[in-house]
Amino acid sequence: MTQSNFDKRLLIEQIRYIEAKQNLSCDAEQEFSDHSRHMEFEERLWKRAQCIVQQHDLSSVLVRAARLSRYIKSFALLAAALLGALGVIYAVGESNTINIYWLLLVLLGFNFLSMLLWLTGISLNVENLSSGLLARLSRWLPGRLSGWLSGRPASKSHATKPDGKLAGNQADRAWLACNFSGVVGKWQLSKITHQLWLAYLLAGLVFLVLLLMVRQYDFVWGTTLLSDAVFIKLTGFLSVPLDALGFATPSADQVLDTRIVATQDGLLQTALAPALTAEHRSHWAQFLLGALLCFGIVPRILLWSLSALMCAGSRRLFALDYYLPYYISLRQRLMPLASHGQVVDADTSPPVIAGTAAGKTKITPVPHVLPAETRWVAVELSNNLSWPPHAINAANNLGQVIDRESLSRIQQRLQAFQRPLVAVAVAAARSPDRGVKRTVASLMSNSGQRWLVLLEHKDESISSKRLAAWYRLAEACDVPADHVISMSQGQR
């Protein structure tokens, strides 16, 4: 079965969440890291995730959240349909008359308010749309249901395999985080919201049609504060699209005829006593059904279709955060040639920087192979790091930034090139403070491709925390994670 990129990245994220709580070994990790040199980093992560799933038998716990979400969604749709049917029953009552605008308010009033709030939230990108009550419920309920299904509270259950229980909880959190947060979550929750309202409206429509088929109703309306002209204008406004679609709608005289009035003995009846004609009933019935279709169901179908398309697009664009320490550590292990180079004496070692044809610079190269026309700049290197290395073409070396004058001079040289490819080398042992960040960002501001090279002395040890800080600086400077290279420099 072919899996989408989103499903693959979801599995990788589930493994990341699990490994945040417990270490998982992968016997084949070294094999595909050594023999798959041309494999992309994400593909290596995917292979590793598959290996872990098979080795630790995690298939069942990884799909638990998806299965529970389907159960919850089915229950919610059934509840929405039941509410739609009950709404019609409540609005119609046990009498032989239907209050037209009260029924429209029950079926369409809150639906219209919901659509208005949703459109406002989408237009203004309101955060609560993806982190509100529905999102919190979607995060809490699956874990709670899993505890109920096991016969114990979720927080106090003791599974036969404690590690499996922990892995299942972490996998559920990863699934919910990927599906119900960020851009994907916004459109996923929007799609579910429209589906629930569609179930409510369709159930109300079906139940209303059944009632109209088996019973004869008179249609009435009444008001305490508003004038008759308001309802005549409202009916005429709502009838415009219905007339265009071929529905028979009531005229202004028929609207007045269905007005509830008080008789001399205090009883209420329609203006057209004792009962409405068959024509009146037919026009009002078509008006009700047409209004429900045109102003409730059709807009919801359009909004649901839009949300489904946007959700599919956001799932395709869903990306992993390769700047997280977890992925940085895996990059060092799975792509040693891509993340580490060694700069030594040119007489005893081949160059690390290999050239490519000038016409292929638009293609992102393999991370440890930079194009020949890359312009190199160093930023405040320590004394134990020499610059430039022998492997760099002297013509491409723009020098080292040590003060404002050297920075200004190098920036002027970079401006002479049209969208240059820039590799900025920094000392990995130093702290990536705001000054370094501003310098690196200014050097890369007009670049076509950006590379950050972390130079370290062979006798120095760089902590994972320091390495993660450099990757965050790279993210802030729009340097792709694949374009961050660590190079160890030996004695010259």
Query: pLDDT in tens for each of the 492 residues of the chain?
Result: 678 999 999 999 999 999 988 888 887 776 665 555 567 888 889 989 999 998 888 998 999 999 999 999 999 999 999 999 998 888 887 777 888 888 888 889 889 999 998 988 888 876 554 444 454 555 555 455 445 544 444 444 333 343 677 888 899 999 999 998 889 988 999 999 999 999 999 999 999 999 888 888 878 877 777 787 888 888 888 888 888 888 888 888 777 777 765 444 444 444 444 456 777 788 888 888 999 999 999 999 999 999 999 999 999 999 998 888 888 888 878 876 444 444 433 333 343 333 333 333 333 333 456 788 888 999 988 878 888 877 778 888 888 888 889 899 988 888 888 888 888 999 888 888 888 899 999 999 888 889 898 888 777 777 878 888 898 899 999 988 888 888 776 544
Q: Are residues 335 and 313 in the same domain?
A: no
What the block records as the tokens of 19 is 């490994």
CATH number at residue 453: 3.40.50
Q: Are residues 230 and 261 in the same domain?
A: yes
Instruction: Give the Å distances, CA to CA, from 330 to 14, 16, 39, 478.
Output: 15, 11, 14, 21
Considering 285, 317, 349, which residue would you say is the last residue of a domain? 317
Q: Are residues 385 and 243 in the same domain?
A: no
Q: Are residues 260 and 282 in the same domain?
A: yes
The mean of the pLDDT values for the chain is 79
Q: What is the pLDDT of residue 8?
A: 94
What the block records as the tokens of 269 is 């009846």
Q: Are residues 298 and 329 in the same domain?
A: no
Per residue in 133-169, pLDDT (tens digit) is 454 555 555 455 445 544 444 444 333 343 677 888 8
Q: Are residues 99 and 119 in the same domain?
A: yes
Q: How far is CA 150 from the centre of its chain?
A: 31
Q: What is the pLDDT of residue 297?
A: 94
Q: What is the DSSP letter of 259?
A: B
CB-CB contact of 100 with 116 (8 Å): no
Per residue in 305-333, pLDDT (tens digit) is 999 999 999 999 999 988 888 888 888 78
The C-alpha atoms of residue 63 and residue 67 are separated, in whole angstroms, by 6
What the block records as the tokens of 125 is 């990108």
- For residues 430-448, one letter each, b for 16 or more C-beta atoms within 10 angstroms of the residue's C-beta and e for the rest, the string is eebeeebeebbbbbbeebe
Structural domain that includes position 381: 325-489
Q: What is the pLDDT of residue 32?
A: 62
Q: What is the pLDDT of residue 151?
A: 44
Q: Where are the alpha helices (DSSP H) in 180-227?
A: 182-214
Instruction: Give the Å distances, CA to CA, from 382 to 166, 400, 430, 460.
Output: 45, 11, 8, 12
Q: Are residues 39 and 144 in the same domain?
A: no
**How many domains does the chain fold into?**
3
Considering 288, 317, 346, which residue would you say is the last residue of a domain? 317
Q: What is the DSSP letter of 221?
A: B
Q: Are residues 137 and 245 in the same domain?
A: yes
Q: What is the pLDDT of residue 127?
A: 58
Considering 262, 297, 317, which residue would you say is the last residue of a domain? 317
For 371, phi then psi, to 5°, come to -60, 155
74 HSE (CA, 13 A, CB side): 6
Task: Assign 3-class secondary structure to 369-433.
Answer: CCCCCCEEEEECCCCCCCCCCCCCCHHHEEEEECCHHHHHHHHHHHHCCCCCEEEEEEECCCCCC
Alpha-carbon Rg of the chain, whole angstroms? 33
Q: Are residues 382 and 407 in the same domain?
A: yes
Nearest to 467 by CA among 258, 280, 296, 324: 324
Q: Are residues 399 and 420 in the same domain?
A: yes
Q: Are residues 386 and 265 in the same domain?
A: no
Q: Are residues 332 and 449 in the same domain?
A: yes
